[in-house]
A = this chain, B = another copy of it.
């Protein structure tokens, strides 16, 4: 892993300058004095140690600092404090809702100094140049962000047609900031999806890691997935699943984020007398509420400790273990000479609250307040205009018609089992003048997917059960794994209004009812994220959630529930602009059943 991947706005300290500080022949720029240092390499806590920093790196860790602390040295007295490496989020998605600089701001506050993120969100609507622009947005920031090359498993024919080509993925994999091939859901992979096979091969050729997504896979199927060279998974929901993966040499990220939090369930693995070096922590998307109210990796490490994990192990799972997984351990993941100075000072070993956050040798936050600001990235205009609907929509666009003059049909509906999982159910629906009617009394409303990026104009309208929505409509451009706009609604007029409002906003989430927009958030960048501050985002999302709840919606997070209707990652029945897809067979299935 070449060091050039860390090229950033921060000037690289000459190695000989580090050496001089270590030798006591030059003064350190920063000294964290007399702390109890968590040594993630040995698993020890070393009392009364001083960390000397020159430029962006650590020069020395120990007690013999003669000659290297002087008038030009900023001294942080860490007496009685604990000093730990900056945290790494080993698997996340930061390309939705929150602008990158705002997310980085929240990472910095709490001591997350490296982020490894998926970016399929940006890749679906904006393609290769969107991905490259996103990389530009997260480079040269006070903390480090690496991305994975989007594998883009999708059920959508339009998205498949416009997905990154193998050549484009190859080009991405050659970039230093692209650290791995991103998650490929295991089912299509194990079915032998040719495109993914080629991408995996490219990742191997480029010497990059291959991240996995083995939700529910076990034994032979999980091993088939691993045999392809997939070396991580962040989808374990139980200690047993974690153990099975570790035994296969897979790196396991225990997830605790806005979509799912499995740490509490998995925590009992702590009592196993095994080697945990392949186990780490990740958010899989921290989410605006979590960031605003709880924190980022600091919150998760604290939670792990509160759940009974050995504190040093909890810290290793957010530092060295992740660094090793990505081959970054020569550079980050621990406090030692020659490594980047990404360091936190916390009150004590079991209180993960950063009094100082040092990133690249610089104090970037104190007691939760930033001392420097992330760079604001100006996104190019074309990224602000990613919603390309050929025309305004009308209620009639959401009418489902049948040719026959029957009075009733049997229809396949997306039947929500939880706020995320769905199954296929067959229901009888009344037909009136050739129009198949939803039935709010049975909680059956409309759902539509409209391709919104490539001017294809393709759309599909079907039925969904179990959302609780009694009236109005909710639409979003934050659809997972497609470039579709998704809309659910009890009323065709409101569905059209929501879609048209999104068209005006160039992307976002909109809740309408009675011909009015009740709540909305504009997400102009790729239809994925905004440029608002975190508190505003949370406020707008809260309004959206309240409005949806007022309309009867039972989902605890309606923007998420709607967004995932198009994902190939969550079983079983999903939707795209071409129709409904049964993930068990990965085939499009008809709306009407004979």
Residues on A close to B: CB < 8 A?
A: 1-4, 15-16, 18-24, 39-44, 46, 57-62, 64, 190, 192, 197, 200-201, 204-207, 209, 219-221, 223-231, 243, 246-250, 274-275, 277-278, 316, 324, 327, 329-330, 334, 336-339
Contact = CB atoms under 8 A, between A and B. Distances in A.
Contacts of A246: 41-42
A15 B64 contact: no
A231 B330 contact: yes
Nearest to A1: B207
Contacts of A200: 15
Contacts of A219: 62, 64
A220 B39 CA distance: 18
11 contacts: A1-B207, A3-B207, A19-B224, A22-B221, A24-B220, A41-B246, A42-B243, A42-B246, A42-B275, A44-B274, A62-B223
Contacts of A226: 22, 336-338
Contact of A197 (B16, B24, B61, B223): B16
A2 B278 contact: no
Contacts of A334: 249
Contact of A23 (B190, B248, B327): B190
Copies of the protein in its oligomer: 2
Contacts of A24: 220
Contact of A192 (B19, B58, B209): B19
Contacts of A57: 227
B220 A274 contact: no
Given A2-B204, A62-B220, 11 more contacts: A15-B229, A16-B197, A16-B228, A18-B228, A23-B220, A41-B278, A42-B274, A44-B274, A46-B247, A64-B220, A249-B329
A338 B23 CA distance: 45
Contact of A15 (B20, B197, B316, B329): B197
A315 to B, nearest CB: 12
A342 to B, nearest CB: 13
Given A204-B3, A205-B3, A337-B227, A220 B60 contact: yes
A339 B231 CA distance: 10
Contacts of A22: 220-221, 223-224, 226-227
The listed residue with most B CB atoms (<10 A of its CB), out of A58, A204, A221, A224, is A224
Contacts of A39: 247
A277 B277 contact: yes
Contacts of A2: 204-207
Contact of A61 (B223, B243, B327): B223
B338 A227 contact: yes
A317 to B, nearest CB: 12
Nearest to A274: B42
Nearest to A333: B249
Contacts of A16: 192, 197, 228
The listed residue with most B CB atoms (<10 A of its CB), out of A16, A190, A229, is A229
| 8 A-B pairs closest in CB distance | A2-B207, A249-B336, A43-B275, A18-B227, A22-B224, A227-B337, A19-B224, A42-B274
A426 B275 CA distance: 56
A68 to B, nearest CB: 9
Contact of A42 (B190, B247, B329): B247
Contact of A249 (B41, B46, B62, B201): B41
A57 B249 CA distance: 14
A39 B44 CA distance: 25
B338 A231 contact: yes
A42 B249 CA distance: 8
A19 B60 contact: no
Contacts of A225: 19
B274 A43 contact: yes
Contact of A228 (B15, B58, B204): B15
Contacts of A19: 190, 192, 224-225, 227-228
Contacts of A231: 330, 338
Given A207-B1, A330-B209, A44 B227 contact: no
Nearest to A230: B338
A224 B23 contact: yes
A485 to B, nearest CB: 36
Contacts of A23: 190, 220-221, 224
A19 B223 CA distance: 8
